[in-house]
């Protein structure tokens, strides 16, 4: 899971790096001519792209958990629900094993 996370965050940095220069470029280009005019259009596009990328990343993150579950089956699933359910089953079995001696 950590690797996926690392990958996602590095992707995020990349995206940020890509979008920022875009916006910066526009700004720098105009700045020479007139410091009071700002290229808000490319800023808007860059910002929106940034938002969309983040949004998809988030969705992917959620979906990645589901997919991993179904592929790797339950045992390795990181979700705490599954883990607890497992514990419960184990404890039940343990109790069943323990119960007979406890009878007398």
Partner 1 sequence: MGYGRSDSYRVATTQDKDEKESPKKKGGKDLDDLKKEVPITEHKMSVEEVCRKYNTDIVQGLTNAKAAEYLARDGPNALTPPPTTPEWVKFCRQLFGGFSILLWIGAILCFLAYAIQAATEDEPAGDNLYLGIVLSAVVIITGCFSYFQEAKSSKIMESFKNMVPQQALVIREGEKMQINAEQVVAGDLVEVKGGDRIPADLRIISSHGCKVDNSSLTGESEPQTRSPDCTHDNPLETRNIAFFSTNCVEGTARGIVVCTGDRTVMGRIATLTSGLETGKTPIAKEIEHFIHIITGVAVFLGVTFFILSLILGYSWLEAVIFLIGIIVANVPEGLLATVTVCLTLTAKRMARKNCLVKNLEAVETLGSTSTICSDKTGTLTQNRMTVAHMWFDNQIHEADTTEDQSGSSFDKSSTTWVSLARIAALCNRAVFKAGQESLPILKREVAGDASESALLKCIEDKNKKVAEIPFNSTNKYQSDKHYLLVMKGAPERILDRCSTIMMQGKEQPMDDEMKEAFQNAYLELGGLGERVLGFCHLFMPEDKYPKGFAFDTDDVNFQTDNLCFVGLMSMIDPPRAAVPDAVGKCRSAGIKVIMVTGDHPITAKAIAKGVGIISEGNETVEDIAARLNIPVSQVNPRDAKACVIHGTDLKDLTQEQMDDILRNHTEIVFARTSPQQKLIIVEGCQRQVLYSHANNQNPKLCGLLFCQGAIVAVTGDGVNDSPALKKADIGVAMGISGSDVSKQAADMILLDDNFASIVTGVEEGRLIFDNLKKSIAYTLTSNIPEITPFLFFIMVNIPLPLGTITILCIDLGTDMVPAISLAYEAAESDIMKRQPRNPLRDKLVNERLISIAYGQIGMIQALGGFFAYFVIMAENGFLPSVLVGIRLNWDDRSTNDLEDSYGQQWTYEQRKIVEFTCHTAFFVSIVVVQWADVIICKTRRNSVFQQGMKNKILIFGLFEETALAAFLSYCPGMDVALRMYPLKPSWWFCAFPYSFLIFVYDEIRKLILRRNPGGWVEKETYY
Site residues (vs partner 1, CB under 8 A): 1, 5, 20, 23-24, 27, 38, 40, 43-44, 46-48, 50-52, 54-55, 57-59, 61-62, 65, 78, 80-81, 84-85, 88, 91-92, 94-100, 102-104
Cβ distance to partner 1 smaller for residue 70 or 104: 104
Closest CA to 70 of 82, 84, 53, 52: 82
SS3 assignment for the chain = CHHHHHHHHHHHHHHHHHHHHHHHHHHHHHHHHCCCCCCHHHHHHHHHHHHHHHHHHHHHHHHHHHHHHHHHCCCCCCCHHHHHHHHHHHHHHHHHHHHHHHHC
Quote the least distance from Cβ 10 to partner 1, whole Å: 14
State which residue, 14 or 52, has the beta carbon closest to partner 1: 52
Least distance (Å) between residue 85 CB and partner 1: 7
Q: How far is the CB of 84 from partner 1 (least distance, A)?
A: 7
Smallest distance from the beta carbon of 75 to partner 1, in angstroms?
A: 17
């Amino acid at each position: 899971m950590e690797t996926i996370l690392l990958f996602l965050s590095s992707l995020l940095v990349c995206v940020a790096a890509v979008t920022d220069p875009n916006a910066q470029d526009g700004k720098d280009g105009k700045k020479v001519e007139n410091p009071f005019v700002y290229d808000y259009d490319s800023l808007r596009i860059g910002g929106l792209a940034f938002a969309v990328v983040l949004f998809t990343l988030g969705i992917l993150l959620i979906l990645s958990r589901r997919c991993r579950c179904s592929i790797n089956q339950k045992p390795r699933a990181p979700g705490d629900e599954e883990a607890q359910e497992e514990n419960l089953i184990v404890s039940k079995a343990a109790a069943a094993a323990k119960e007979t001696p406890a009878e007398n």
